[in-house]
Structure 1
Amino acid sequence: MKLRKKIFSLLFLFQILIHSSTSLAREQQSIIPNFESSTTLAGKIWDLNNRHFITEEVLVSVIAKSDWVLLGENHENEEHHAIEQNLIEAISDAKKLGNVALEMANQKQQDVLDNHLNNQEVTKEALNWSSGWPWDWYGELVKTALAEAQRVIATDLTRDQQMQAYMDSEIELPTGPYREFMDAILYESHCGKLPKSQLSNMLRVQIARDKAMHSALINNRTNKLDVFIAGTMHTRYDTGIPLLGELNSKTILMVSAGPEMDPGKYIPESYQDNPIADYIIFTPETEPVDHCGKI
């Protein structure tokens, strides 16, 4: 009788443990928030190479064969941050997540990021987080990366290093369509107020930053799927770090879409005919911020 009671007690305890672990497991969720609509492209995934829509399941299965997935965001779009966070969690739940690398952290922050791995209560002060990347935008994303990834990799140059690149005439500048395209982008992004004599200096900074990020990714590959989060221009095949080669990567851009249902209307302009990315995830249209009007 005593033996039977002990066996019953152990079985009961085992059932409690199983139930507890199941209830504590993260509920499986979609990578893309539930804003899909029949009247807009929001929530849909466009395959630029094959020119058709795909499902989340297909997207995840394809990127899983890469070393890196490069996520190109609009920094101010909270839906993009939510998708990034969901994707990190989904890859982690599948036991396939390696490192998460961030444009938003400079290389001097690597030690503090390493020291706060698995710390979900970390603060911006503890990470020496730059005010240029608002913690309100990136705090939850960074905490998720620290909790789920093998390591969180800081990829960008420091402000001092960027100033050095600005003055470094030895940084070789490209010529041809790429140069013309990037000069136009830099001029427009500075509201047409940047003296054109400074465009070469600004392009040197862009090139130096891309090289630093590329090197960080090359040196921090794992045997799992690694994730890089950055602005769109750094992740595109025609303007960003993929131009530097050696990465077995896929690029996913997140792009806001309005009422027009033709995906081609939202693909960013390029100086070349080849696809600028592998996939586009469409998100709802947002009110554009008039930064130039504030100058």
Structure 2
Amino acid sequence: MKAARGADIVILGEVHDNPRHHEIQAQAVKDLQPEALVFEMIPEKHEAAVNRLREEGASRAELASALNWEESGWPDFAYYAAILEATPEARVVGGEQPIEQVRAAMTEGAAQVFGSEASTYGLDEPLGRQAQEAREQRQYEAHCEAVPKEMLPGLVEAQRLRDAGLADAALRARAVTNGGQVVVITGNRHANLHSGIPEALRFAAPDLELVTLGQLEAEPEPDAPPPYDFHHVSAPPDRPDPCAEFRESVD
């Protein structure tokens, strides 16, 4: 990803529980040495403590404890600790949205929940019919085709809120580092050029140079190129069928 060296913001996607994806992220961060790291997995309210602990040389266990990682629902903290350790001087910025706000967006809409800055990220603009239908279909597939279809518009709004929140965190990171390079660690859907963080940033800061990497677990169809500047394919880890577990949870 030589193109990433000159980018203002680099978005590194992942499948959250794929160890190889995190190894690639850590190597990219080690090579780039950005001024700031934005994590989808870290709430803004914890970023000051994380940065203080990093300056004090805290252990992985101390960082995980400060983040209440065991209760967070995210995969093994070691995956993300390796990324943090790849650039010890980088400022950490939290991009995770509070769950109560995500839930509220499903019923009230992303713009209402985001507040006065909603227009900055295009949240006040309704999606066109084709874009709305495409995003609802992605949500349906992401939820194992097991959710009522009347929930899909709300799930799209929740995703828009998360994308805007991550874009806002990336711009905060740019500000606190006086325009330094920012790397965003996030799931592949947020890295999508057409509907994720990049779309929100096109509204807020269209002059910034972005580079996105999507990390897949199977080769894409030849006639359907992935919606990223670059993509990488790694084998999936051994895991139980997530859809089987999800369907059991909604039954």
User: Normalised by the size of structure 1, how large is the TM-score?
Assistant: 0.67
Please tell me the residue identity of whatever aligns with 2:38: A
- Given candidates 60, 63, 70, the residue that maps to 2:4 is 63
Cα deviation, 1:75-127, whole Å, max 9, x if unaligned, reads 111000011111212223xxxx2101111112222222222224340331122
The partner residue of 1:89 within 30, 42, 51 is: 30
CA distance in 1, matches of 2:23, 2:154: 34
Instruction: Please say if 1:255 is aligned against 2:195.
Output: no
Measure, in 1, the Cα distance between the counterparts of 2:107 and 2:193: 27
Identify the residue that residue 241 of structure 2 maps to in structure 1: 290
Shift in Å, 1:279 = 1.1
Instruction: Name the CA shift for 1:136/1:238 in 2 (closer, same or farther; >3 Å).
Output: same
Could you say if the C-alpha distance between residues 143 and 78 of structure 1 is closer, same or farther in structure 2, counting changes exceeding 3 Å?
same
Distance in 2 between residues matched to 1:287 and 1:134, nearest whole Å:
14
CA deviations 1:40-77 (Å, max 9, x no partner) are xxxxxxxxxxxxxxxxxxx23x2111111111111111
Q: Is residue 75 of structure 1 aligned with residue 3 of structure 2?
A: no
Q: Deviations over 1:124-171 (max 9, x none)?
A: 1122335311234534235416x5243111012111221222221473
Question: Where do 1:14-53 residues align within 5 Å?
Answer: none
Q: Does 1:277 align with 2:228?
A: yes
> For residues 104 and 178 of structure 1, what CA distance do their matches in structure 2 show?
27
Aligned equivalents of 2:229, 2:171: Cα separation in 1:
20
Using the TM superposition, give the Cα deviation of residue 231 of structure 1 relative to its aligned residue in structure 2, in angstroms: 0.5
Select the structure of larger CA radius of gyration: 1
Matches within 5 A, 1:165-244: 165-169=105-109, 171=111, 172=124, 173-221=126-174, 222=177, 223-244=179-200
Counterpart-to-counterpart distance in 2, 1:142 and 1:124? 14
Q: Which runs of 5+ in 2 are unaligned?
A: 112-123
Pick from 64, 86, 90 the counterpart of residue 150 of structure 1: 90
Tell me, yes or no, if the aligned pair for 2:41 and 2:94 is still in contact at 8 Å. Answer: yes
State the secondary structure of the residue aligned to 1:74. Answer: coil
Specify which of 68, 74, 78 is matched with residue 133 of structure 1. Answer: 74
Question: 1:81·1:138 contact (CA, 8 Å) conserved in 2?
Answer: yes
Moved over 6 A (4+): none
Distance 1:71 1:169, change over 3 A: closer
Structure 1 residue 210 displacement after superposition: 0.8
Q: TM-score, normalised by structure 2?
A: 0.78
Q: Please state whether the residue corresponding to 2:186 is helix, strand or coil.
A: strand
Q: State the shift of 1:207 in Å.
A: 0.7
Q: Does 1:105 align with 2:25?
A: no
Match of residue 44 from structure 1: none
Are 1:100 and 1:149, in contact at CA under 8 Å, matched by a contact in 2?
Answer: no
Distance 1:169 1:123 in 2: 34
Q: Is the 8 A contact 1:68 1:227 kept in 2?
A: yes
Please state whether the residue corresponding to 1:123 is helix, strand or coil.
helix
Q: How many residues were matched structurally?
A: 221
Deviation at 1:228, TM superposition (A): 0.6
Equivalent residue for 2:115? none
Aligned to 1:54: none
Decide whether aligned partners of structure 1 residues 102 and 66 sit closer, same or farther in structure 2, where only a CA change above 3 A counts. Answer: same
| Structure 1 residue 265 corresponds to structure 2 residue 221 | yes
2:117 equivalent to 1:161: no
Please list the CA deviations of residues 152-196 of structure 1 after superposition, one character each: whole Å capped at 9, or x if unmatched.
110121112212222214735413222111101111222222111
Q: 1:68 to 1:285 in 2, by over 3 A?
A: same
Task: Letter of the 1:115 partner, please give it.
Answer: R
Contact 1:250 1:278 in 2 (8 A): yes
